[in-house]
Structure 1
C-alpha cells in the first residue's frame, strides 16, 4: 500500500467526503461517531472525519512488536 504523507493512501486523500470514499472503498465495515473502519484492504484503515464530513485523518492500525528492522 502506497502512503503519500500529507495526502493519503489507495486513491483516497484528505479532504474527500464520505460518499466519494465509499465509491473507492465501498461501505465501511463499521462506523462510530466521526470514524469509519475498513477491514479491507489489509491492513485495514480507520478514517476520521471532521464535523462537516470531510476526511481529516487516516490511521493504519499496526500490530507489530516494535522489533522491526529498517
Structure 2
C-alpha cells in the first residue's frame, strides 16, 4: 500500500472525519479506544483521531508474503531498517533518528517495536543479531513529527 507522506494513504487521509472514514471502510474491526480505530486491511491500518478528525495513519508490517507499505517503489515494512533508510536517503528523503526508528520531514516515520528478530528475514541471523526490522509506518503532517 503506497503511503502519501504527510497525508496518509488512499483509503484514509489526515484531516478526514471519522464519519467519512467509516463510510468508506465500515466500522473498525477492533474499535479499541475512542481515539483509535484498527482495520483488518492488508497491511493492517490504524487510524488515530483528534476529536473525530484523522490525525495519524499507521500501517503495520504484514509479514512474509503479505502486502507491505511502500513509497516511490521502496518497500518500507518487513525489511531491515538500515536498508530502507539507505534507499529512502538515495531518493532524497532525510532521516532523523527517533526513539523507535526514523522520522522523515516529508511527513512519515518508520519504526520497530522489537517484536521481530533479524532471523525473520535472514535465516542465517544469530539470536543476538542487532538488525532492526521496520514493523510499521506512521503518516502525518511534518509538524506532527517535529513538535
Question: Could you say whether these structures have the same fold, taking a TM-score greater than 0.5 normalized by the shorter chain as the test?
Answer: yes
CA root-mean-square deviation: 1.9
Runs of 5+ in structure 2 lacking a partner? 64-77, 88-147
- Secondary structure, aligned partner of 1:14: coil
Query: Residues 13-63 of structure 1: CA distance to partner in whole angstroms, max 9, x if unpaired?
Result: 1011111001111111011221100002x001011111x111000011125
* 1:53 corresponds to: 52
TM-score, normalised to structure 1's length?
0.80
SS for the counterpart of 1:21 is helix
Alignment of 1:1-70 (within 5 A): 1-33=1-33, 34-40=35-41, 42-50=42-50, 52-62=51-61, 63=63, 64=78, 66=80, 70=87
TM-score relative to the length of structure 2: 0.41
The number of equivalent residue pairs is 68
Structure 1 or 2: larger strand share? 1
Unaligned runs of 5+ in 1: none
